């Protein structure tokens, strides 16, 4: 019996899904052409294609993300990030070990690394080492991101009740592509929102999870450098701190000063 094994998640996969149905129907003797439907849906129902070319979304180019979840959601979401949004996927992974071969074939062409594991601690370590701008994963990765001060969009089970809203929010098809585009954009900008809360208050439960200035590598910070570091938005402070230390260690600097911070920023290190 004919079947379709393409998940209609994102614009490209939805178009492939419909074309596969068209091919099956044509082979069964039914004359049909979905091209006009695909064009109409892409141009007028889904806003994702337009949004991907907007100024707001162009600001995401060069950002890095990691993706982890069940095989179907993780693979398709990684494709959307890479092919439709122009976002680098540092690595993608799944806990569905029986689907390992299929998953690798789906993402290995554009992912630097593919992870097959159900070890929560390993995934946490990899996220910390990767230092992505955003995470797209399960509720577990959301907890990891909260600890590391990295925004996370939940795309796969296990999930929280908040991921099942009463309102109509599809994840598949052309209308689903709008929800996915919103999730991606809002996840990347979440850190900025936290910084505004840090400045102006207004969120009683907000806690500062910024890494404390404790070091085991022999590098210390003078008082002025500490004050300057604390002025940096919380969602990038950890990365600035780490890269400044790397610069200092590489140049045999034992105490970081303002001059060290400025020199590190001007170096080839991405701070």
Indicate which residues carry an active-site annotation: 56
Asked whether the beta carbons of 94 and 71 are under 8 A apart, the reply is yes
The rounded distance, in Å, linking the Cα atoms of 215 and 241 is 11
Q: What is the largest CA-CA distance in the chain?
A: 78
A 10 A CB-CB count for 222 gives 13
DSSP per-residue letters across 251-271: TT-SEE-HHHHHHHHHSSS--
For 221, list phi and psi in degrees, rounded to 5.
-120, 135
The rounded distance, in Å, linking the Cα atoms of 90 and 17 is 27
User: In 3-state terms, what secondary structure has residue 65?
Assistant: strand
The rounded distance, in Å, linking the Cα atoms of 78 and 92 is 7
**Cis before 158? omega within 30:** yes
N-to-C CA span, the chain: 55
> Please, what sign has the CA dihedral across residues 163, 40, 75, 21?
positive
The rounded distance, in Å, linking the Cα atoms of 33 and 98 is 36
The rounded distance, in Å, linking the Cα atoms of 83 and 65 is 13
DSSP per-residue letters across 136-154: EE-HHHHHHHHHHT--EEE
């Amino acid at each position: 019996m004919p079947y379709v094994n393409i998940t209609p998640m994102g614009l490209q996969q939805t178009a492939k899904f419909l074309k596969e149905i068209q091919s099956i129907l044509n082979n069964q003797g039914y004359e049909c052409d979905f091209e006009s439907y695909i064009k109409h849906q892409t141009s007028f129902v889904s806003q994702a294609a337009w949004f991907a070319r907007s100024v707001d979304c162009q600001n995401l180019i060069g950002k890095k993300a990691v993706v982890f979840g069940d095989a179907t959601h993780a693979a398709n979401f990684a494709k959307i990030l890479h092919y439709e949004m122009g976002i680098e996927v540092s690595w993608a992974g799944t806990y569905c070990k029986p689907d390992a071969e299929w998953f690798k074939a789906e993402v290995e062409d554009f992912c630097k690394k593919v992870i097959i594991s159900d070890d929560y601690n390993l995934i946490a370590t990899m996220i910390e080492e990767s230092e992505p701008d955003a995470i797209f994963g399960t509720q577990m990765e959301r907890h990891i991101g909260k600890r590391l001060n990295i925004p996370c969009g939940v795309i796969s089970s296990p999930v929280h009740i908040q991921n099942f809203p009463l309102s109509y929010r599809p994840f598949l098809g052309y209308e689903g592509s709008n929800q996915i585009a919103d999730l991606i954009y809002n996840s990347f900008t979440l850190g900025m929102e936290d910084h505004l809360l840090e400045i102006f208050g207004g969120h009683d439960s907000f806690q500062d999870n910024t890494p404390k200035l404790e070091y085991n590598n022999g590098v210390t910070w003078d008082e002025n450098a500490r004050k300057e570091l604390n002025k940096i938005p919380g969602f990038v402070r950890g990365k600035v701190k780490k890269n400044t230390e790397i610069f200092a260690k590489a140049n045999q600097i034992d105490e970081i000063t303002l001059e060290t911070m400025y020199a590190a920023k001007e170096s080839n290190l991405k701070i």
